[in-house]
A and B are shown apart, each in its own frame.
Chain A
Amino acid sequence: MEASATRMLQRYGTGWVLLLLAIVFTSQNSRFLSWRNLGYILTDVSICGIVAVGMTFVIISAGVDLAVGSVLGFAAMGAAWLIELSGLHLHPAWLFGLCTAAGLGAAAGFIHGKVTTALQVPPFITTLGGLSAWRGATLLINHGGPIHDFDAGYRWWGNGSVLGIPVPVLIFVIVASVGWVVQRYTRYGRHIYAVGGNVEAARLSGLNVKGLTSSVYVIVGTLAGLAGFLLSARLGSAEATAGTGYELRVIASVVIGGASLSGGTGGVGGTVMGALLIGVLSNGLVMMGVNSYYQEIVIGAIIVLAVALDSFAKRRA
């Protein structure tokens, strides 16, 4: 009983901090709560958040993926390059871009999953290699230069809106909802928790541990590809450095959201809160005119604090 009470407190704890931050930032700068700024925050959160939903699966399974930023950049660049190569005759270009980016991301994730399970390399190492390798591949594609002749249809995915809601936000909402349902209500979701909670017990319960472990890297890879597509659509160009450093922010979102790196706990709901917290914090600090170097320090401190709180709650329980 006590454990679930502290867990509830912790889950809503992120919500309370979020609310508190919103009040503080609004009192400092009235424009913080404007539609325009909220839309900006949410769009900014969405692209990282989509990847974080996938990362939640990985971390619940007791793995980690450090390569998401590089895969994101690779998928966006790869898709843009293939479109350019085809001479812009594909219509609609966005459909081709969306599918190719997601496909490239899935392929990268598939490789990570296979290397991890078949060669028994710890996922930290596999994806550390991936972090470097996929970035290198991205730079190679267009010799480090950007690709930016997207048509309006393509850019709509990053800048358009439906009923006043920016498209990336909409997609984030859809991805998070599907992720939540899968985790909460499907056998697959339960199996991932089981593998992360106790891998030997999962194997002895008849689960296909290797297949399940591989699958989470495919999920996060696909979502990184999707995020890459959205980011390049938003910027109107595929940059060779797109997604650099995303892995830290994505992992931070998941961990602030209550997942443990040792696996078995966490959830998409918490991750969304974690992503929002980071988004609000960095936006608010900018609005307050805080030096951007301090922002990095604050975000770093928040991550450590969140995990300290988590292990404190566990010891109490």
Chain B
Amino acid sequence: MSALLEARQITKSFPGVRALAGVNLRVGPGEVHALLGENGAGKSTLLKILSGAQAADAGEIRLNGTPLAGSHSPLERQQAGIVTIYQEFNLLPEMSVAENMYIGREPVRHGWVDWSRLYGQARSILSALGLQIEPRAAVRTLTVGEQQMVEIARAMTFEAKLIIMDEPTAALSVREVDTLQRIVRELRARGIGIIYVTHRLNEVSALCDRFTVLRDGKWVAEGDVRDHSPGDLVRLMVGRNVDLLRHRRHRAPSDEALRVEGVSWQPKTRTRAASLKDICMTVRSGEILGLAGLMGAGRTDFARILFGAEHCSAGTLWLQQDRVEMPRSPAEAIHQGITLLPEHRKRDGCFLEQSIRQNMTLPSLKKLTRWKWFVSDRREAHFVERYRRSLGIAMASDLTPIGHLSGGNQQKVLLARCLALAPKVLILDEPTRGVDIGAKAEVHELIRQTADSGVAVVVISSELLELLAISDRIGVFREGRLVAEVDGETATEPEVMSLMAVGTAA
């Protein structure tokens, strides 16, 4: 079978990092090709190069045998027949389904949009895919799954030859996943090639024909899905039997700091948030509990509930064995001794235009006042200096905007903000995202020190190695449930990976 898409020796470097080194990918017509790898393996970079969002440093991409120009524009690639559906949809919520499908390419007559043709064409594409979606409906009224279908229908308007799907089922309900799989098979039957990125290995077995595995930016393996069990795939993805540098705890954890039982929660809007089902969990003082799970498994929502950022009525909370109300606001949670370092540093953490000092001291100003009401410059400067030293924050002056710092230093400033509140329970959501490797190790050390000082620490991370390196215990989330708990000192990467992806140990 001749290849529909053939990418050869794709190489891409970013400052300081080689993201891809000589990667090959071959997809035939009518083939569903799984692209597998851990976080950071290079999948996203490869997708961006194929979709034209980024240019490769070296390598060649051929579509039906003709080389694609090195120029990189997503529009040109779409017109050539390569359409990408990203995790974050590119739909305009206020506009109709049909308008979204044809945006920028609306059929016109005498310079006016030809509405009847627009809706007619959209309707015929939707019904050809067997979808019951009204083309006049506003996109915001659709469920996440339906929005995904609209993205696919939009791809069809380009007469796509190759559709790239980046974790298409991450946020879908079980029934929506069935519909998606039906449509993927339908597309396959029409001879369209599909690159399917997922972490859910049971989907790979059910849906995909062939697979390619990337690891650390390198091509590792290609093969027929039929010949490989999910366990084989996990081994290929993880690959190494490296002894992890594990931080050991220096003392035995003491009493229970936080216990929750029966937390169930439904997101208010039809966003990508997962719903949570009956979660029970305990953390002890001095312990680091890692939370593993795929995107959309519900870890972040769970953390936000504990912190009062989302309201949840179903569930019971004990803090140091006292039964307390679930916090109804972050202010209440902080008062109870729970603090959260949010997942999106820039969006939810930083005041980018304000100084490092203002960012660090904001919730602690009460402790830094003079004559009751007035913030003392001197005490504030001392405060910042103390944390600058103990956390090793590199900065010229604490009066420069926090936006001027590197990611690692920004994160340390926010960590200082959390630590200054003297929490009993500290929840860290992706504490090292966007932090370079050197600073990562420092942040890990700080987390360990914090736990050793008697704080109960909960760490959420998408990087398994990180969780294995620092956690005393790891809780695994899957589809809104806490499905397993493993010992952080003995757990292995394939074991946890398999729990995340399939729900059982490999």
Residues of A participating in the B interface, judged by any CB pair closer than 8 Å:
1, 3-4, 181, 185-187, 190-191, 193-194, 197-198, 200-208, 264-265
Contacts and interface: CB of A to CB of B under 8 A. Distances in A.
B369 A198 contact: no
B351 A198 contact: yes
A206 B363 contact: yes
A264 B365 contact: no
A205 B366 CA distance: 13
A187 B351 contact: no
Contact of A1 (B333, B352, B366, B400): B400
Given A4-B400, A187-B369, A197-B353, A203 B362 contact: no
A186 B369 CA distance: 8
Contacts of B28: none
A152 B366 CA distance: 46
B145 to A, nearest CB: 27
Contacts of A194: 351, 354, 358, 362
Given A200-B348, A203-B309, A193 B354 contact: yes
Given A4-B400, A190-B358, A204 B351 contact: no
Contacts of B358: 190, 193-194
B348 A201 contact: yes
A187 B365 contact: yes
29 contacts: A1-B396, A3-B401, A4-B399, A187-B365, A187-B366, A190-B358, A193-B351, A194-B354, A194-B358, A197-B351, A197-B354, A198-B352, A201-B342, A201-B347, A201-B348, A201-B349, A201-B351, A202-B351, A202-B362, A204-B309, A204-B330, A204-B348, A205-B330, A205-B417, A206-B329, A206-B334, A207-B362, A207-B363, A264-B353
B350 A208 contact: no
A80 to B, nearest CB: 35
A202 B362 CA distance: 9
Interface centre among A186, A198, A264, A265 (most CB of B within 10 A): A198
Contacts of A202: 351, 362
Given A190-B375, A200-B347, A206 B330 contact: yes
A224 B347 CA distance: 35
B340 interface: yes
Contacts of A265: 353
B346 to A, nearest CB: 9
Contacts of B365: 187, 190
Contact of A186 (B334, B348, B351, B375): B375
B365 to A, nearest CB: 4
Interface string B291-303: 0000000000000
B347 A204 contact: no
Given A198-B348, A203-B309, A207-B362, 19 more contacts: A1-B396, A187-B366, A191-B362, A193-B351, A193-B354, A194-B362, A197-B354, A200-B348, A201-B347, A201-B351, A202-B362, A203-B330, A204-B307, A204-B309, A204-B340, A206-B330, A207-B331, A208-B331, A265-B353
A207 B373 CA distance: 16
B374 interface: yes
A14 B313 CA distance: 53
Pick from B329, B351, B369, B417 the residue with the most CB of A within 10 Å: B351
Contacts of A203: 309, 329-330
Contacts of B401: 3
A129 to B, nearest CB: 24
A265 B347 CA distance: 18
A207 B335 CA distance: 11
A1 B397 CA distance: 9
Interface hub of A4, A202, A205, A207 (most chain B Cβ within 10 A): A205
Nearest to A264: B353
B353 A186 contact: no
A1 B331 CA distance: 34
A206 to B, nearest CB: 4
Contacts of A190: 358, 362, 365, 375
A190 B354 CA distance: 10
A201 B350 contact: yes
B342 A204 contact: yes
Nearest to A207: B331
A264 B375 contact: no
Interface in B103-148: none
B458 to A, nearest CB: 16
Interface centre among A191, A197, A204 (most CB of B within 10 A): A204
B420 to A, nearest CB: 11
Nearest to B397: A1
A107 B340 CA distance: 37
A2 to B, nearest CB: 9
A206 B369 CA distance: 18
A3 B401 CA distance: 9
B374 A204 contact: no
A187 B401 CA distance: 19
Contacts of A200: 347-348
Given A190-B362, A193-B358, A204-B309, A185 B351 contact: no
A288 to B, nearest CB: 39
Contact of A205 (B353, B363, B373, B374): B363
Contacts of B329: 203, 206
A186 B373 contact: yes
Contacts of A197: 351-354
The listed residue with most B CB atoms (<10 A of its CB), out of A3, A187, A206, A208, is A206
A198 B340 CA distance: 16
A208 B335 CA distance: 13
> B350, B358, B363, B366: which has the most chain A beta carbons within 10 Å?
B363
A282 to B, nearest CB: 32
Contacts of B348: 198, 200-201, 204
Contacts of B375: 185-187, 190
A177 to B, nearest CB: 14
Interface in B338-396: 340, 342, 347-354, 358, 362-363, 365-366, 369, 373-375, 396
Interface in B203-219: none
B349 A204 contact: yes
Contacts of A185: 374-375
A29 B42 CA distance: 72
A83 to B, nearest CB: 35
Interface string B311-337: 000000000000000000111011100
A61 B495 CA distance: 49
Nearest to A263: B353
Most buried by B among A3, A4, A185, A193: A185
A206 B366 CA distance: 12
Contacts of B349: 201, 204
Contacts of B417: 205
**Pairs A-B, 8 closest by C-beta atoms:** A197-B351, A206-B334, A206-B331, A187-B365, A205-B363, A185-B374, A206-B330, A198-B351
